[in-house]
Amino acid sequence: MNKPSIAALLAVVVFAFTASASAQETEIRVVDEVIAQVNEGVITLSRVKREMKAIIDQEVSEGKSREEAERLLEEKKGELIANLINEELVLQRAKEIKLDSEIDATLNRRLLEIMQNANIKTLEALYQEMERQGINPQEMRDVWRRQITRDLVIQQEVQRAEYWRPTNSEVRTYYEANKQRFTKPETVSVSEIFLSFAGRNEGVVRENAKQLLTRLRAGEDFAKLQKENSDPGQLTQGQGKAERLVVADLVEVISKPLAGVKVGGFTEPIEIDQLGIILLRVDAREAASSESEFNENAVRSAMLQARFPEAQKAYMSNLRKDAYIKLNEEYRPLVAPLLFAEERNEKATKN
């Protein structure tokens, strides 16, 4: 199996990193100034310039002329500064609620995933490969850390709160009013044998999986072979069985081998890159239908999706209300109307 390149695996952050690095290397040095003080932090002119250059470079790479990209971004300069102030507040909030260890763990998992997909054994080797491709590892980590921090704060302080905010009665009422949105999905129930690659020769594991499949199809007892051979299941989260998995929610590496397998049948060995081999027995199937079905998680998720944009606006508004934000007078007319738009709307509504 061909491994993807580091550049491909880092595509999600390559622009953010390389544009920022390019800006630092080529930008004409200026006397820095503070555009905004945000509690103990500051938004500086140099930071704004780096962000602007990164965005302009991206627009140019997508076909715009540099002059057009610069003109359009200049019109949105106030929005950019307001966004940086909001980001600074979120980063500060992460420290207040002590997310550092979770942020580090998430970042390390992301790096490990890249190493596994690229078949790189050590972090040092990964960093060397990044540098070979023109990516500064530390600056890449900083970009990802900011992204992860924003995501975790919003997940914990907005999404989680909004998910559980509706009472059971409100969830049921929402379902009754929107039954057509909650039709019965196609589901599949499975039992799993998982053969891990960890500490083993991958070729031997693959051969063992083929032999087990042959024995299963010959009629040997699944539960017995599962007990004797299986490591804690991946798809079934160590339980060995999983009931009513929604087919549409399964990743392609699982859903594709399962397609067309009848109840009582087995999939071909499913290789999970760098992890091991999965064998699945289909225990039950339920076809999708237009019949409505109450599922609390699905209903709460739908309610969250509908409420999230306003909830996030309210959350950021509250962060700003509790913060000390001092704008440079030169930039105040550009930034204040955008930064405090929600607060002004709320005040106008109350009046």
DSSP 145-209: HHHHHHHHHHIIIIIHHHHH-S-HHHHHHHHHHTGGGSBPPPEEEEEEEEEE-TTS-HHHHHHHH
Q: Which pLDDT value is given to residue 234? A: 82
Residue 279 shares a structural domain with residue 303: no
Q: DSSP assignment of 274-325, as one string?
A: TTEEEEEEEEEEE---SSB---HHHHHHHHHHHHHHHHHHHHHHHHHHTS-E
Q: Which pLDDT value is given to residue 16? A: 41
Residue 66 shares a structural domain with residue 151: yes
Residue 180 burial by Cβ neighbours in a 10 Å radius (0-12, 13-18, 19+): exposed
CB half-sphere exposure, 237, CA atoms < 13 A: 3
Q: Which pLDDT value is given to residue 142? A: 86
Last residue of a domain, one of 286, 302, 337: 286
Q: How confident is the model at residue 68 (pLDDT cuts 50, 70, 90)?
A: very high
Q: Which pLDDT value is given to residue 30? A: 47
Residue 232, number of CB atoms within 10 A of its CB = 12
CA 145/CA 138 separation, integer angstroms: 10
Residue 299 shares a structural domain with residue 255: no
Q: Are 274 and 114 in contact (CB under 8 A)?
A: no
Report the CATH number at residue 275: 3.10.50.40
Residue 102 shares a structural domain with residue 138: yes
Q: Which pLDDT value is given to residue 3? A: 45
Over residues 76-109, the pLDDT tens digits come to 999 999 999 999 999 999 999 999 999 999 998 8
Residue 162 shares a structural domain with residue 74: yes
Over residues 183-215, the pLDDT tens digits come to 988 999 999 999 998 888 889 999 999 999 999
Of 58-67, 292-301, 336-345, the range with the lowest mean pLDDT is 336-345
Instruction: Characterize the bridge pairing of strands 270-272 and 276-286.
Output: antiparallel
CA 256/CA 88 separation, integer angstroms: 43
Choice between 29 and 337, residue whose per-residue pLDDT is larger: 337
pLDDT at 20 over 70: no
Q: Calculate what percentage of the chain has a pLDDT beyond 90.
A: 61
> Which domain, by its residues, includes 226?
185-286
Residue 36 shares a structural domain with residue 131: yes
Q: Which pLDDT value is given to residue 273? A: 79
Considering its fold, how many domains does the chain have in total?
A: 2
Over residues 255-291, the pLDDT tens digits come to 999 999 999 999 999 998 778 999 999 999 999 998 8
Residue 10 shares a structural domain with residue 89: yes
pLDDT at 38 over 50: yes
List the structure tokens of 67: 């002059």
Place of tokens 């998982």: 194
Report the CATH number at residue 12: 1.10.4030.10
Residue 233 burial by Cβ neighbours in a 10 Å radius (0-12, 13-18, 19+): buried
Last residue of a domain, one of 286, 308, 338: 286
Q: Which pLDDT value is given to residue 12? A: 42
**What does pTM read for this prediction?**
0.66
Residue 198 shares a structural domain with residue 65: no
pLDDT at 113 over 90: no
Q: Which pLDDT value is given to residue 266? A: 97
Over residues 244-255, the pLDDT tens digits come to 999 988 999 999
Q: How confident is the model at residue 9 (pLDDT cuts 50, 70, 90)?
A: low
Which residues does 90 contact at the CB level (< 8 Å), separation at least 6? 149, 150, 153, 154, 316, 319
